[in-house]
């Protein structure tokens, strides 16, 4: 019997399926899992919430959309957004107290399960360390497993910029952090999970990338992810196969 040749479209589907099974396997045997924070571990974008709190929400939300869509370098978008917000230390503290970040459903259970399996969990964020540390504490993630941007303030509490030396302040910064983790801990298999362009570009050096669309779907990330999930329950289910 003659076999029909596989047409290019079918080849793409087969390649996608192979990549999906490989990604799932890498996730099941990961030594470390790195999560993005804004719109992944938490429901909102921290910088947008800070902007709203400071009364400049609309201007900043549009710029976040461009940054996450990859149409502007991350550092440029961060610099421009912060120059609009110009938040004081007091405003940041009040935001965390009055409007604490909301965890995405299922993330606490997933992180607990990963910890039970002795898989190291890291938070790698282009957001702000003061907010991300609050999230890490809720999830029992050690603070030395947090990589995020640091806001700078003058002695009187006024905004003084951000620490531009942090790897997370740059496009490609999340990948730099993962390279550092592999070097520091000797990890062979590291999985990155996130919703945005900066998360996707962290693979490689991450062994695999899982796109997350539970809070917001970014089409170009969904398109380029071999495994794209819309709930953390899908990842928990996969871990049960071990």
Q: Partners of 38 in the beta sheet?
A: 42
Catalytic one among 36, 48, 195, 199? 36
Q: Write the Ramachandran bin of 124: left for phi over 0, alpha for psi from -120 to 50, otherwise beta.
A: beta
The residue written with tokens 């470390």 in the block is 32
How far from chain centre, in Å, is Cα 90?
26
d(CA 214, CA 52): 22
Catalytic one among 38, 48, 195, 199? 38
Asked whether the beta carbons of 136 and 145 are under 8 A apart, the reply is yes
In this structure, what token pair is assigned to residue 153?
């303030």
d(CA 75, CA 39): 19
Active site annotation includes 36: yes
Asked whether the beta carbons of 169 and 163 are under 8 A apart, the reply is yes
For residue 239, which of 27, 18, 19, 20 has the smallest C-alpha distance? 27
- The residues carrying an active-site annotation are 36, 38
């Amino acid at each position: 019997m003659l076999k029909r040749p596989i047409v290019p479209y079918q080849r793409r589907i087969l390649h996608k399926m192979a990549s999906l099974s490989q990604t799932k396997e890498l996730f099941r045997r990961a030594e470390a899992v790195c999560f993005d924070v804004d719109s992944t571990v938490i429901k909102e974008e921290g910088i947008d919430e800070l902007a709203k709190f400071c009364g400049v929400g609309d201007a900043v939300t549009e710029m976040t959309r461009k940054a996450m869509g990859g149409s502007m370098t991350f550092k440029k978008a961060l610099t421009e957004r912060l120059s609009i917000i110009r938040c004081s230390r007091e405003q940041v503290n009040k935001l965390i107290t009055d409007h604490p970040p909301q965890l995405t459903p299922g993330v606490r259970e997933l992180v607990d399960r990963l910890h039970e399996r002795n898989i190291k969990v890291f938070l790698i964020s282009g957001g702000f360390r003061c907010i991300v540390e609050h999230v890490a504490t809720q999830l029992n993630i050690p603070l030395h497993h947090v990589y995020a941007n640091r806001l700078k303030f003058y002695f009187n509490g006024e905004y003084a910029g951000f620490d531009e030396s942090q790897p997370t302040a740059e496009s490609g910064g999340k990948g730099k952090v993962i390279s550092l983790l592999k070097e520091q801990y000797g990890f062979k298999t590291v999985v990155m999970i996130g919703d945005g362009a900066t998360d996707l570009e962290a693979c490689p050096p991450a062994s695999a990338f899982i796109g997350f669309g539970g809070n917001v779907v970014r089409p170009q990330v969904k398109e380029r992810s071999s495994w794209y999930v819309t709930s953390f329950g899908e990842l928990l289910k996969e871990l049960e196969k071990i």
